[in-house]
Amino acid sequence: MPDLLHEVSIGNVRLASNLFLAPLAGYTDKVYRSICLENGAALAYTEMVSCEGVARKSEKTVVLMERGEGERNLAVQLFMPDADTARRSLEGVMAYRPAIIDINSGCPVPKVIKTGAGSALLKKPGVIGEIVKAIVENVDVPVTIKIRTGWDTESINYLKTAEEAFNAGAAALCMHARTRSQLYMPYAHWELLKDLKAHFPEKTIIGSGDLFSAQDGVRMLGETGIDAVAYARGAIGNPFIFRQTEDLLSGREARVISTEEKVRAIRVHLAGLVEYLGENTACREMRKHVCAYLKGIPNSARVRQSVTSALTVEEYEAALSQLK
């Protein structure tokens, strides 16, 4: 199925393939984005960045936009409740020289929704259009958007939302094929991605939702006809998923990732976090990643238990040595 693997253009940004890393709060920092890019992701999005935080020059916010090692095309995802908030942030955002700006209209988390941002915008497709237009008119990079199918099953409006976004100048649209009320259960409705692409055949459509393996990515591309896939939860602790998908789409068997390769990735990841955050904070932050990397590896339970209290690189090494 080599025809399903191809280059993608988003505005004037040409990407080597159609396999992306979706934005994930708490996971897609510059260190992990670099690892995923090195392992075959053609584009990796930042964690969600608050436009209000950027406008206020919050250090904790702007650091999320730092470019990772080898990150040629920085894709910054922003969240905001309205066009005015977006405008006020743009000078600060553009200081980080993003290649793409993405608008989050899909986050279902209550603390984001209560501000009027994220999935709350799905109730106001017109406001989404205003936000896209405000950003497009004030930057010289492509603007994209991520949405869900609607707020709930009684208000599925992805076609209207997409129409507003594209009419306002969006260069691409990513849809997580669930409503906000569904959160992440029970399953994503991929048939709606197919419908979205059918309604906007000339537009770049990216799919997300229930992509937990390379096989899932291949199946989504094949069944829906969309242009690209964005791995989210399936990429946590699994940066290898991009190369595996590339293998399958190129007609090869998906490569098998050895325990040694996973341990090597853990070491690279931890070293990057130490440089970025300092040893103590990095070791705390790395715990969730290690548990994800080691999922499914025989006899790894004791390692996961050990790293729950690890505060130094030396303690991580001692824990990982138990896999031998």
Buried b (16+ CB within 10 A) or exposed e, 269-281: bbebbbebbeeee
**Cβ neighbours for 51, distance < 8 A, ≥ 6 positions apart:** 78, 79, 80, 85, 86, 88, 89, 93
Is 107 annotated in the active site? yes
Start-to-end CA distance of the chain, whole Å, equals: 38
CA distance 277 to 281: 6
CA distance 248 to 230: 16
CA distance 247 to 240: 11
For the beta carbon of residue 17, count every other beta carbon within 10 angstroms.
Answer: 18
* Residue tagged active-site, from 36, 51, 107, 283: 107
Q: Are strands 43-44 and 19-21 parallel, antiparallel or unpaired?
A: parallel
Bridge partners of 101, per DSSP, are 76, 143
Tokens found for residue 5: 């693997």
**Helix, coil or strand: residue 77:** strand
User: Distance of CA 283 to CAs 266, 276, 309, 318, Å?
Assistant: 11, 11, 9, 13
**Helix, coil or strand: residue 75:** strand
CA distance 176 to 187: 11
Q: CA-based Rg of the chain, rounded to a whole angstrom?
A: 19
CA distance 235 to 40: 12
Catalytic site positions: 107
